[in-house]
């Protein structure tokens, strides 16, 4: 409980970071009702919508009242929205009303199956979607066999809506209750719903605020999708806690014109913005000196790089192109997180040079040991993904023995702390496997098995990510990470480089291991293939052979629509392998 009349303004700001998000919004709506919280940009980068703190609170409260009349506490509410501000109002309304939000990406023909699986798995009884999409989505899901889901468009707040009575007391919701289900993409299996509690959200937001030294002056520009953990937790919930101003655009706007993202960072003097590693590559490829003649990135001091492998060359290229516009290398902030940990695990310290280690390749591949290399030909530069938050225990574990690795060994990353989600929705077997692991020297304490391989730097305390355990390629007794091979494939292109590549192994009819590289092509790469496909393939094979000492058995090219990725942009290698082996992968002739 808190009595606002007896608290100083500083105490109120402190309380805002300790309360559940819905109570923090009520508090901030009382503290600074007319301050703009969110601004939404359309496909051309123009302001098309905005919400103050009070307006968001009023909209969320109205929708919460709507949910009180149409559902019961604990019901799962599917949120099917394009990137827009009505989504965050509907999400907060679920938190207010003790309903469990289920954010889902709007379905395309290919994604409809996944959406149906999520609805069936969650047991959702009601869906919220904009009025403009209501009839179309109801019909699409009815045709797909989902006929008993009730559909509503979120209502608008009344003009005379009074917020004061609502926010006299905290909401009183149990912090360990499930707040929302974050469905993971999976590689080949059906999506699993990560049960994120109110305590998980509050803890993770506080971890980011403290680790990155954030406050109400930390303005943000974001384009990550709201159904993904980074777009939701960092892009839409963190601003409520900070009391800042955040500019939002659709992912499609960024991919089509990354210049709009960069221009927004400049125009709104954003302190924090970022995305996966490919975002920085795309910004370099689409650079225009004429368009960016007035670009000012000097306020951008927190350039997040997460959700995928961080590449040193990507950072150096971006810096060399944009430093003339005020960007500084010390602004780069590689970080690591995952939905099962709500979002954030490691990142920082801020405004310092990034950390990296040049490790001996042979020691990494043969013995999973990290040994510094003094020879560039035998070394591989690995980027640190920040120091783990002080609120989590990160352990590097031998996945076969369950014991902690020595300081110079690579192992599976296990995490424990209040930010770890409660498990997978109605999936006790997967919950026990992933969320209930135990370390020999910490009896009775549960750890999350991330499935990621890495190590902790002995000198810099940085968390280094090496790859995924399930994607590991074992060849001639060596442990090869597909991310490294994919990087060599992409770097073999002289001109425009592919946005993505998937490398995977399969056993052919004679039980021989074959290594396949599936490469995403665009118009420019397609032109190169038409001119001289043999030369392109020869350069790819030479790069892989030189850097890894292995042959590529197959090189195939696919359109962007055929490259399977998670909602955060990670390659689904397992699914790509499955499609390739079954003959269902659409390839283009080269």
- Say if CB 539 and CB 574 are below 8 A apart: no
Q: Which residue has the tokens 């403290």?
A: 210
Chain position carrying tokens 């082996």: 581
Domain-embedded: residue 412: yes
Rounded Cα distance, 276 and 283, in Å: 12
- Tokens standing for residue 531: 């001119």
**Rounded to whole angstroms, how far apart are CA atoms 517 and 430?**
30
Structural contact between residues 472 and 574, judged by C-beta atoms closer than 8 angstroms:
no
Same-domain pairing of 498 and 399: no
Which among 248, 282, 304 is the end of a domain?
Answer: 248
Indicate whether 416 and 496 sit together in one domain. Answer: no
- Kindly state whether residues 427 and 492 are assigned to the same domain: no
Q: Which pLDDT band, with edges at 50, 70 and 90, does 469 fall under? A: confident
Domain boundary among 411, 437, 468: 468
DSSP for 461-483 reads: --EEEEEETTT-EEETTEEE-HH
Query: Tens digits of per-residue pLDDT, 273-313?
Result: 999 888 898 899 889 888 899 999 999 999 999 877 788 88
- pLDDT tens readout for residues 97-121: 999 999 998 887 667 888 899 999 9
Do 549 and 403 fall into the same domain?
no
Tell which wins on pLDDT, 172 or 559.
559
**Residue 452 sits in the same domain as residue 488:** no
Specify the CATH number for the domain of residue 492.
3.30.300.30
Q: Is there a domain that residue 283 lies in?
A: no
Model confidence pLDDT, tens digit, residues 215-270: 999 999 999 989 889 999 999 999 999 999 999 999 889 988 999 999 999 999 99
Q: Is residue 401 part of a domain?
A: yes
Is residue 298 situated within a structural domain? no
Domain that holds residue 93: 4-38+51-248
| Residue given tokens 């290698």 in the structure block | 573
Last residue of one domain, picked from the residues 248, 271, 295:
248
Query: Do 433 and 450 have their domain in common?
Result: yes
Residues 169 and 29 in one domain: yes
**In a domain? residue 452:** yes
Q: Is residue 284 part of a domain?
A: no
| Domain shared by 444 and 527, yes or no | no
Structure-model confidence comparison of residues 91 and 444, the more confident one: 91
Identify whether residues 34 and 146 lie together within a single domain.
yes
Would you list the DSSP string of 383-406? EB--PBPTTEEEEEE-TTT-SBPP
Residue 344 lies in a domain: no
Selection from 546, 452, 544 nearest residue 503 by Cα: 544
Domain count, the chain: 3
At 196-208, the pLDDT tens digits run 999 999 999 999 9
The verdict on 199 and 131 lying in the same domain is yes
CATH number of the domain encompassing residue 91: 3.40.50.12780
Does residue 1 surpass a pLDDT of 50? no
Q: Is the pLDDT of residue 62 over 80?
A: yes
- What is the per-residue burial (b if ≥16 Cβ within 10 Å, else e) of 341-359? bbbbbbbbebeeebbbbbb
| Domain containing residue 406: CATH number | 2.30.38.10
Report yes or no on 336 lying in a domain: no
Same-domain status, 460 and 553? no
| Claim to verify: residue 61 and residue 164 sit in the same structural domain | yes
């Amino acid at each position: 409980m808190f009595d606002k009349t007896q608290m100083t303004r500083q105490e109120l700001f402190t309380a805002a970071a300790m309360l559940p998000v819905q109570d923090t919004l009520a508090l901030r709506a009382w503290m600074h009702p007319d301050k703009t919280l969110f601004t939404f940009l359309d496909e051309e980068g123009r302001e098309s919508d905005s919400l103050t703190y009070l307006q968001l609170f009023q909209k969320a409260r109205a929708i919460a009242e709507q949910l009180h009349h149409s559902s019961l506490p604990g019901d799962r509410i599917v949120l099917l929205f394009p990137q827009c501000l009505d989504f965050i109002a509907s999400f907060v309304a679920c938190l207010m009303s003790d309903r469990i939000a289920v954010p889902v990406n709007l379905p395309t023909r290919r994604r409809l199956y996944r959406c149906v699986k999520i609805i069936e798995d969650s047991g959702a009884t009601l869906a919220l979607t904009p009025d403009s999409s209501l009839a179309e989505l109801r019909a699409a899901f009815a045709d797909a066999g989902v006929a008993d889901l009730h559909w509503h468009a979120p209502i608008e707040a009344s003009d005379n809506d009074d917020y004061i009575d609502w926010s006299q007391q905290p909401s009183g919701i149990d912090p360990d209750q499930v707040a929302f289900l974050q469905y993971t993409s999976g590689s080949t299996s059906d999506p699993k719903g990560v049960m994120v509690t109110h305590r998980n959200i509050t803890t993770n937001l506080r971890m980011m605020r403290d680790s990155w030294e954030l406050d109400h002056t930390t303005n943000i520009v974001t384009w990550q999708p709201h159904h993904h953990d980074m777009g939701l937790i960092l892009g839409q919930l963190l601003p409520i806690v900070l009391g800042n101003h955040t500019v939002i655009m659709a992912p499609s706007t960024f991919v089509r014109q990354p210049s709009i993202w960069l221009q927004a960072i400049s125009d709104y003097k954003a302190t924090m913005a970022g995305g996966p590693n490919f975002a920085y590559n795309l910004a370099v490829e689409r650079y225009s000196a004429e368009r960016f003649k007035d670009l000012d990135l000097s306020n951008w001091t927190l350039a997040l790089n997460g959700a995928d492998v961080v590449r040193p060359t990507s950072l150096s290229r971006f810096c060399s192109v944009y430093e003339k516009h005020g960007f500084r290398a010390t602004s780069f902030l590689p970080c690591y997180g995952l939905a099962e940990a709500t979002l954030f695990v490691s990142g920082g310290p801020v405004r310092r040079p990034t950390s990296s280690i040049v490790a001996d390749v042979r020691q990494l591949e043969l013995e999973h040991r990290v040994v510094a290399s003094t020879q560039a030909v035998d070394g591989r530069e690995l980027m640190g993904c920040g120091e783990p938050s002080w609120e989590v225990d990160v352990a590097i574990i031998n996945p076969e023995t369950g014991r902690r690795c020595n300081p110079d060994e690579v192992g599976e990353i296990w995490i424990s702390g209040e930010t770890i989600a409660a498990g997978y929705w109605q999936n006790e077997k997967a919950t026990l496997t992933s969320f209930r692991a135990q370390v020999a020297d910490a009896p009775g304490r549960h750890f999350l098995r991330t499935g990621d391989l890495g190590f902790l730097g002995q000198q810099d305390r940085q968390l280094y990510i090496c790859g995924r355990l399930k994607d590991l390629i074992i060849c001639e007794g060596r442990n090869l990470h597909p991310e490294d091979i994919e990087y060599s494939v992409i770097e073999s292109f002289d001109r425009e480089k592919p946005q993505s590549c998937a490398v995977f192994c399969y056993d052919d009819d004679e039980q021989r291991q074959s290594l396949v590289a599936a490469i995403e092509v665009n118009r420019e790469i397609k032109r190169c293939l038409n001119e001289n496909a043999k030369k392109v393939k020869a350069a790819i094979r030479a790069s892989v052979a030189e850097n890894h000492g292995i042959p590529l058995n197959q090189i195939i090219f696919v359109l962007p629509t055929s490259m399977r990725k998670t909602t955060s942009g990670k390659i689904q290698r397992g699914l790509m392998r499955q499609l390739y082996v079954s003959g269902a992968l659409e390839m283009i002739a080269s």
